Amino acid sequence: MKTWSKLFLIIAGIALGFSIREFFTPQVQGAKIITVASRGQNYQIATLAATVGEVLREQNFDLSVVQVLPTVEAPVQSGMVVEVTRSVRVVVRDGGAESGAVTAALTVGDFLRENQIGLAATDQITPPLWSFVGEGMEIVIDRIVDLEVTETKPVPFAVVRQNDPNTYYGQEALIQAGRDGEREQKFLITYKNGVEIARKLLADRAVRAPQDEIRNFGTKIEVVERVEGRASWYAYRDCMCAAHPFYDKGRFVRVTATVSGKSVIVRVNDRGPDQSIHPDRVIDLDAVAYRELAPLGSGTIAVQTELLR
């Protein structure tokens, strides 16, 4: 008994559905009911038009950009199905390169197959493959590639200076030439549209150790000449250097402040001061060297200069 009740309800539901469809279907005296299928959508039209073309023009279809089956000249018959293939314009950005396309594909996946555009497992696409293709849609494909890359990098050598008390101050001698070392590093590098966006260090090993450069620097002090006077300063090259009226450029001079006893050794690399204007000035120190002896605001200070051999 229950089975018959269920069957009765199903039949009643079907009949009601047909009644509702008939109620909502536009009724026009003498009209023919046809179905138009376009881009995945089906809808019914009641029309008095004589041909398929007239029907589509009534529905504002642009016949210059659609394909119709049956043809636009075909006479309208009640119950017929008219399939309209309508193309749309889309913009494709594939790997950073932009192009335009006209397509009748329904989904993004259909469009890719239609244009033989392949995707790797790591590639990213927006919108998703199942998305419906609409007019003016932008389809963006980012090409993602992971590559293992081995890079060799230099390891700079250090400079070691050894003091040599048997060599005059300022003289240098190369004992051992320096040589850069070498490291080998393996990275997993991720590229997006040909541009590196990430890297991960996989391995790092030393191929060759660096070799220090060793230099002997003379520290032997032997005074050739002593002079007392005043030292001035000027902003030259921010170096431990000085100007002297007549000492050869490249010679070293020890300068000692008379009051504090502080000393610096400077290299002569310029001429001055002008003793015809300042006869008491015996040396003109770079600001860096002068600051080791006294504040720059002091202007000049009493010093003893010693020319070194």
Residues 6+ apart with CB under 8 A from 302: 228, 229, 230, 231, 257, 258, 259
Q: How far is CA 91 from the centre of its chain?
A: 25
Residues 6+ apart with CB under 8 A from 151: 184, 185, 186, 187
CB 194 within 8 A of CB 247: no
pLDDT computed for residue 127 by the predictor: 95
Matching fold, domains 22-86 and 88-142: yes
pLDDT computed for residue 11 by the predictor: 54
Q: Is the per-residue pLDDT at 6 higher than 60?
A: no
When pLDDT is averaged across residues 228-255 and rounded to a whole number, the result is 92
Return the closest-CA partner of residue 53 out of 81, 82, 26: 82
Mean pLDDT of the chain: 88
pLDDT computed for residue 82 by the predictor: 85
pLDDT computed for residue 201 by the predictor: 97
pTM: 0.54
**Residue 293 three-state SS:** coil
pLDDT computed for residue 215 by the predictor: 96
Q: Which fold has domain 22-86?
A: Ubiquitin-like (UB roll) (3.10.20)
pLDDT computed for residue 18 by the predictor: 46
Classify residue 161 by burial, with Cβ atoms within 10 Å: 0-12, 13-18, 19+. Answer: exposed
Give the start-to-end residue ranges of the domains of the chain.
22-86, 88-142, 146-217, 222-308
pLDDT computed for residue 20 by the predictor: 45
Give the full edge-to-edge strand order of the sheet including 195-208. Answer: 144-155, 181-192, 195-208
Q: Is the per-residue pLDDT at 151 higher than 60?
A: yes
pLDDT in tens, 251-300: 999 999 999 999 999 999 999 898 899 999 999 999 999 999 999 999 89
CB 227 within 8 A of CB 305: yes
Domain 146-217 has CATH 3.40.50.300: no
Q: What separation in angstroms does the CA of 192 have from each of 94, 144, 238, 283?
A: 11, 5, 47, 63
Q: Is the per-residue pLDDT at 7 higher than 90?
A: no
Q: Which of 7-16, 53-62, 207-216 has the lowest mean pLDDT?
A: 7-16
pLDDT confidence bin for 31, thresholds 50/70/90 = confident
Element containing residue 36 per DSSP (H, E): strand 32-38
The class (CATH top level) of 88-142 is alpha beta
Which CATH number fits the domain 222-308, given the four candidates 2.40.40.10, 3.30.70.100, 3.40.50.720, 1.10.3210.10? 2.40.40.10
Q: Is the per-residue pLDDT at 75 higher than 80?
A: yes
When pLDDT is averaged across residues 88-113 and rounded to a whole number, the result is 93
pLDDT in tens, 191-226: 999 999 999 999 999 999 999 999 999 999 999 999
**Residue 76 three-state SS:** coil
pLDDT computed for residue 189 by the predictor: 97
pLDDT computed for residue 42 by the predictor: 85
pLDDT computed for residue 55 by the predictor: 86
Q: Is the per-residue pLDDT at 22 higher than 50?
A: no
Q: Is the per-residue pLDDT at 83 higher than 50?
A: yes
Q: Is the per-residue pLDDT at 39 higher than 90?
A: no
pLDDT confidence bin for 10, thresholds 50/70/90 = low
What are 187's strand-pairing partners?
Answer: 149, 201
Return the closest-CA partner of residue 283 out of 292, 293, 275: 275
